[in-house]
Amino acid sequence: MDDIVILAKNESEAIDRLKKVLKVSSDYGLEINFGKCQFLHRKIEFLGHIIENNKLFPSPSKTKSVVHYPEPKTIKVQRFLGLTGYFRKFIPTYYVIAKPLSALLRKDTPFNFDVKQKAPFDELKRLLCQKPVLGIYRQNCETEIHTDASIDELAAVLLQRSSDDNSLHPIYYMSRKTSETERKYTSYELEVLAIIEALKKFKVYILGMPFKIITDCNAFTKTMSKKDLNTRIARWALNLQDYDYTILHRSGSQMAHVDALSRIQVLTNQCTDSIVHRIKESQELDSHILSIKARLQNAVIDSFTKFVWLYPTKTTSTSEVIKKLDIQKTTFGNPRFLITDRGTTFTSDEFHTYCSEQNISLHHITSGLPRANVCGQVERINRTIISVLSKMSEDDPTKWFKHVPSLQEVLNSTFQRSINTTLFELLFGTQINNKTDLRIQQL
């Protein structure tokens, strides 16, 4: 029997626990080779890790093999991923970084190790060279799980409050990419899925003890108390019954430590150059991109055909939205039903009065109940719109709104494999007569 570790706070506790272990060993006839034993050490190496002062580090003897690993020339890159993957709990964005390397292992994929693969190869080496640190899990300490999700990745971190400084310290990082099916989930479903995946990963730590789940999904608690859940959420809710948890909501701005795990882009993770990082930060704060996000709020989608109408606006005020609906009315008349989110624009008395006068039945989506959620369709199409308009208006960002009509035309006239036709033909029963804009389609 090998690799027995006895943890203790001080020498007297260590000796007491050692006596108990020796007695049990003697009672069951286990022989101990004292030549291999170490007693009362403050620092030990155990299963590839260094344990010292309530901290956990990757063992230098193991990371040395990673640091000096040669660039792979064949699918033996799997061996490198095995070495680094053993320490993935130390690296918050491991699966995102390693994705280009993992792709080389797919069946019938030619092995091509170039710049795209070398960047994550070097980045994983660099991260393990920095001696990442995790806390040691303690059964009776206050425990929290912080989760977040994006369309590309699910992320979580297990934390415990230290009695030394009364601060939360990371015990284990978890992140994984979303599947093609999961990428079609609503943002709410992804947030719930992140919680479920975190519970599976950390089950050995949290089962049978109270803990907190911290999420920026405000509707989660209310939804779990409802009887009318969609099938997917109801199935996940069953998994929660095994745990003694309390749900707390925190805004995204207070969840930056875990939010970054789910939203950071692959190329950004691979960059080590400080100039590139500054470019990334500048891009996120770019006034042009922010202006598009702020202004392009009014997108209208026909919930049956998914046909899209785009209206660039200067503000998101109620009066501005009403003006656009009046434009829509001149061609198609008023809709019988209008489904919106719960933004102040749509919940205002002015907007309710307008809908009532126009004989429009106004429905706001229910928080935490995303089935048949047209607003989720709007969110998804907005991501595409912002990305494409940013590229189209590179020469003159202030004129981005001029490209909106062309983009709307392409969105509605592009062949959709899911319906085996175009949105235009589905709505009007005939193909649109236009000039194909290959430039936009390629974007």
Amino acid letter, residue 361: S
> What pLDDT, on the 0 to 100 scale, is given for residue 297?
47
Residue 98 has what pLDDT? Answer: 85
Q: What is the pLDDT of residue 371?
A: 46
C-alpha 377/C-alpha 342 separation (Å) is 15
CA 419 and chain centroid, separation: 29
Tell me whether strands 153-161 and 143-149 are parallel, antiparallel or unpaired.
Answer: antiparallel
Residue 52 burial (CB count, 10 A): 15
Output the pLDDT for position 18: 92
Contact 124, 100 (CB under 8 A): no
- pLDDT score of 197: 93
Which of 438, 360, 136 shows the shortest CA–CA distance to 352? 360
In angstroms, rounded to a whole number, what is the distance separating the alpha carbons of residues 141 and 138?
6
CA atoms within 13 A on the CB side of 405: 3
pLDDT at 116: 86
The pLDDT, as a whole number, for residue 293 is 52
Place of tokens 């704060």: 285
- The answer to whether the beta carbons of residues 135 and 143 sit under 8 Å apart is no
Alpha helices in 207-340 (DSSP H): 220-224, 231-240, 256-263, 266-270, 274-284, 287-295, 318-332
Task: Give CA–CA dist 198/207, Å, rounded.
Answer: 12
Which pLDDT tens digit goes with each residue over 137-193?
A: 888 899 999 988 888 888 889 999 987 778 888 898 888 888 889 988 888 888 889
Do 16 and 6 form a contact (C-beta atoms < 8 A)? no
What count of other Cβ atoms lies within 10 Å of the Cβ of residue 337?
10
E strand or H helix that includes residue 102: helix 94-102
pLDDT the model gives residue 257: 46
Q: Note the pLDDT of residue 138.
A: 87
Burial (CB count within 10 angstroms: exposed 0-12, middle 13-18, buried 19+), residue 23: exposed
Backbone dihedral region for residue 360 (phi beyond 0: left; psi -120 to 50: alpha; all else: beta)? beta
Mean pLDDT per 10-residue interval, the chain, length 443 residues: 82 93 91 86 86 84 79 82 84 81 83 86 84 83 90 88 84 87 86 91 92 80 65 82 84 48 42 52 61 55 76 84 90 88 86 93 70 60 78 78 85 81 84 67 52
User: Residue 416 and residue 411: Cα distance in Å, rounded?
Assistant: 10
For CA atoms 55, 58, 64, 69, give the dihedral sign: negative
Per DSSP (E only), the strands in 9-63 are: 43-46, 49-52, 55-58
For residue 270, give the amino acid letter. Answer: Q
Return d(Cα 177, Cα 97) in angstroms, integer.
11
